[in-house]
Amino acid sequence: MHLRAEQPADRAAIHAVVTAAFGRVDEADLVDRLREEGSGVVSLVSLDADAAVTGHVLLSRMDAPFRALGLAPLSVLPARQRSGIGSQLVRAALQYSKDLGWEAVFVLGDPQYYGRFGFNAEHASGFSSPYAGPHLMIHALTGSLPVSAGSIAYARPFASLG
């Protein structure tokens, strides 16, 4: 498996992979909107041996008391799930974000899944957002957070996601 940054020619394939993973177009359309408005910062694809896109992850800029990204959505083609692609995409995206100088990544998801990558719900509990709760987690890319409380907001297109 090969991972690399999204290229313009990948856009249709990414839309198809995200749609297949979620079983609806909403998250795929969200990826398009985040890209269009420039909120998407890190967008990685996984490729199989035939260079077909098998997975995708997007990280977009957030309003937060420090330089933070939101990881969403994360998608793997249903037929290729549970073979490590999602994990490799998350780990690569975190490294990529750290290399770009971002301080933290928030995610809204299953603590059992994201905990293995160092995301922590307790560390996110001081941040207020409509998504606050046990599924909101944070990963401090620099080892510790400059502050542990404040208000955070995902990029505007997330508001239209049902």
Ligand X SMILES: CC(C)(COP(=O)(O)OP(=O)(O)OC[C@H]1O[C@@H](n2cnc3c(N)ncnc32)[C@H](O)[C@@H]1OP(=O)(O)O)[C@@H](O)C(=O)NCCC(=O)NCCS
| Residues in touch with ligand X (CB under 6 A) | 21-22, 72-76, 81-87, 109-110, 112-113
Three-state SS for 2?
strand
Nearer to ligand X, 74 or 138 (CB): 74
The one-character DSSP state at 106 is E
Query: What amino acid is encoded at 20 in this protein?
Result: A
The nearest distance, CB 28 to ligand X, in angstroms, is 11
Distance of alpha carbon 161 from its chain centroid, rounded?
A: 15
CA-to-CA separations, 130 to 11, 109, 121, 133, 151, in angstroms, rounded:
30, 14, 15, 9, 10
Nearer to ligand X, 68 or 76 (CB): 76
Three-state SS for 151?
strand
Nearer to ligand X, 109 or 150 (CB): 109
The nearest distance, CB 25 to ligand X, in angstroms, is 13
Token readout for 161 is 């996601």
Nearest residue to 28 via CA among 56, 60, 68: 56
The nearest distance, CB 112 to ligand X, in angstroms, is 5
The nearest distance, CB 146 to ligand X, in angstroms, is 25
Nearer to ligand X, 21 or 28 (CB): 21
